[in-house]
Amino acid sequence: MAELIYKDLCYEIMGLAFNVFKNLGYGYREKYYQRALAEEFNKEKIKYKRECSVKLIYNDRIIGRYFIDFIVEDRIIIELKVAKDFYTKDIKRILGYLKAKNLKLGILIIITKEGMKYKRFVN
């Protein structure tokens, strides 16, 4: 069995995300969950960048721009969504973010009526 990438940091991040959901519950906009998670990162002194702009370059020209919810410790991309399920467009987006930033790991977190769910994506 392959070893998990950034196991300890992921465990800490997911604990904080579950704490946010436990305290807020379901029913808010994504930006409020993002703000709450940023508060948790600050409290635990976890380094992160929020709403990072990433340029997509082709033939030395900018053809697009991504905005990533969080890059944690310059290693892990975190995307938060309020959704019913994991949608293909969100999966493609996080894979694009990983490729554009040349990072190894992304976590897509969705907030649903049934609870919080997440998936890890490896570049």
Six-digit token pair at 49? 């960048």
Domains along the chain with CATH numbers: 7-122 (3.90.320.10)
C-alpha distances out from residue 68 to 1, 59, 94, 104, Å: 30, 23, 8, 15
- 60-107 confidence digits (pLDDT tens): 999 988 899 999 999 999 999 999 999 999 999 999 899 989 999 999
pTM comes to 0.90
- 31-69 confidence digits (pLDDT tens): 999 999 999 999 999 999 999 888 888 899 999 888 999
